Chain A
Amino acid sequence: MIFWLQQLANGLTLGAMFALIALGYTMVYGVLKLINFAHGDVLMVGAFVAMYAALWADHFGVPPYFVLITPIAMGVCALVGVVIERVAYRPLRSAPRLAALITAIGVSLFLESAGQWRLGAEPYGFPELIANHQLAWLKHSTGVHLMVCDVVIIGSTVALLIGLQLIVRYTRFGKAMRAVSQDQAAARLMGVAVDRVIMGTFALGSALAAAGGVMWGMKYGAIDPIMGLEPGLKAFVAAVVGGIGNIPGAMAGGFLMGIAETLVVGINVPLGTLWGSDYILKGSDYRQALGFLILILVLLLRPSGLFGRRQPDKV
């Protein structure tokens, strides 16, 4: 019983971070119908900005609290997202989709390789942003191991998700965003400043990714220039699973992916006690491929995702 609770706890933490990143993918896809490959690397930029911000803060005697550093990282990455959109995607608005896709891949690879070139490929220690320790009372009462940072991660993710939903549902900008997602040309006719909306969407999505990056650094203590690749791809799968373009779907997809990944590896333990630890397929070996297996399954069985609607091709 404890085992399953533990897996749930681990999975929720991981899923929270995936959800944050998946939102960025889904929002951009909604307005631009473009898979922003570079999104995972925005996460990496966020983590590094947070690290340097914490260092500078400490240098000037300001304690690098989580609530101080995260908004800084989010702000900088919002800017980064806007720049990427302006430089790489906007000129290709009228070009065939393939061109924008290639550019997206180019931007992603550029961020990774430039990061490795300037910062080295080795991990950096991520500074402590909160006083982190195990929740002893939880361990004693239920046997579940959870750290303070896990709670902070889940808590702030929920807060950010609620904030996003509020923006999308109850503000004019959110309405404009939904309009552009539905039909860009009509929205423009209705007087929506489409370019500004797209810019804002990128800014919002990148800010969320940055938050995800800070949390990633907090949880694992180490960051490096290619850290964004794996979570980025997994979050993309999460967005597809939830129905790409669908915001609640991305949230659900993120948590599902996190739990699925944790379970696949965690299942080793009960299986091991059943079959002995020498059985051929070890879950942890294949955890990387899991995301893609899920993706291919979803694409085969239900391409519109869990919450999406089938979009027929209009001529």
Chain B
Amino acid sequence: MPSPARVLKAKILGLLGLAAAVVLLGVALPRVLPAFHQEPLALGLIYVVIALGLNIVNGQAGQFSIGHAAFAGIGGYTAGAITTAFGPRLFEWSDQTVSLSGCGPTLLLCAALLTGGLTAGLSGLLVGMPTLRLRGDYLAIATLGFGEIVRVVITNTPALGGALGMHGIPRVASFPVIATAVVLVILVCRNIATSVPGRCLVAVREDEIAAESLGISTTRAKVSAMTLSAGIAGLGGGLLAHHLGTYNPVDCSWIKSVEFVLMVVLGGSGSITGTTVAAVFLGMLPGEMLMLSQFPLLTKVTGNKMVLYSLLLIVLMLVRRQGIAGRWELSLDWLRGLGGKLAALLGGGARG
């Protein structure tokens, strides 16, 4: 057992590291990046949050949800409703507001995002409780159905904007906000993965019956995973709403969910690193591909992204089911190992 002093030192270093990551991602990067690339990057980072949420259920728990766009939608609509209800009254926000000016507005945004996440988590609980008793295929269909129900209900509710979607949400989720959220979510996911409940999830994924016989309440583990996962997706949805200023019910459908499934599958089901990289990549891809419009032939091929995504899904399943990263995670040990190998290479080179 390391000494309390060492533990404290590690914790402080960890916190500093996190703060550094937030500053790097949220402040330094946007300043350096050209204007055009910022929008796709912001979108990619927001998708990281949603994809990481999905990763808990699809990757770590081994279930199959294609309804996460709906959970994100619930979070987005809830958060948007709060800011559009209170923002103008308290802080004179309008749909042209783009920056958080002070403590009050920041608190409002946090409250909105948290409420969105909680609402989404609650709906995850509601969906998961009855359906997670059943076989995996049924969860997929149930989540698909849930997504469609959400979409239809929102489309038919004029108070939420109907088919138009919710508009006029203050676009206050700028890079610092997004970066903070991403870093926090990665931290939470990592902590879960290395904790006891996290390992229970992995046990459930590997062999449900064996896990049950070891005393793990599989239904409870799965439902908790679903709740947390939906909550994180809801947080991502809130970020999305406050970044684009709008939320459309079409973005709650299962086809959008499949995009997130692709991110998790491509990156590596269960791997936080893999999912993060895949989410950033796929989130930035459509925006960046517009740059290719100088090459008309390329745009013809890459123009329809769903064709590519669906083919990618099929090919991945046939050729590399575990995704690019598989279960591998970026970790300090791996970095240290890499450093050691590099040192050996250089040292050996110097000698010989």
Contact = CB atoms under 8 A, between A and B. Distances in A.
Given A95-B321, A113-B307, A289-B152, A299 B314 contact: no
B64 interface: yes
B141 interface: yes
A92 B307 contact: no
A300 B144 CA distance: 15
Contacts of A97: 136-137
B12 to A, nearest CB: 42
Interface residues of A, number: 41
B187 interface: no
A113 B306 contact: yes
Give the interface size bracket for B toward A. 35 or more
Interface in A95-121: 95, 97-103, 105-110, 112-114, 116-117
A98 B64 contact: yes
Interface string B18-47: 000000000000000000000000000000
A106 B317 contact: yes
A295 to B, nearest CB: 5
A278 interface: no
A92 B149 contact: no
A274 interface: no
Contacts of B62: 98
B152 A109 contact: no
Interface in A257-315: 285-286, 288-289, 291-293, 295-296, 299-300, 303, 313, 315
Contacts of B149: 289, 292-293
Nearest to B130: A300
A117 B314 contact: no
A102 B261 contact: yes
A2 to B, nearest CB: 30
B331 interface: no
Contact of A105 (B66, B146, B307, B311): B66
Contact of A106 (B136, B145, B310): B310
Interface string B58-97: 0000101010000000000000000000000000000000
Contact of B131 (A108, A114, A289, A299): A299
A288 B314 contact: no
Interface in B101-153: 130-131, 134, 136-138, 140-142, 144-146, 148-149, 152-153
B277 interface: no
B309 A109 contact: yes
B217 interface: no
A296 B130 contact: yes
Contact of A102 (B131, B255, B304, B313): B313
A289 B148 contact: yes
Given A97-B136, A98-B136, A101-B64, A110 B307 contact: yes
Contacts of A102: 64, 261, 265, 313, 316-317
B209 interface: yes
Given A99-B321, A105-B258, A299 B313 contact: no
B293 interface: no
11 contacts: A35-B140, A35-B141, A97-B136, A98-B136, A101-B136, A105-B258, A106-B312, A109-B258, A113-B310, A292-B148, A303-B134
Given A92-B317, A295-B145, 20 more contacts: A35-B137, A35-B140, A88-B318, A95-B317, A97-B136, A97-B137, A102-B265, A103-B318, A106-B310, A108-B310, A117-B303, A117-B307, A286-B152, A289-B152, A292-B148, A293-B145, A293-B149, A295-B141, A296-B142, A299-B142
User: Which 7 pairs show the lowest CB-CB distances between chains A and B?
Assistant: A292-B145, A106-B313, A109-B310, A113-B306, A110-B310, A106-B314, A289-B152
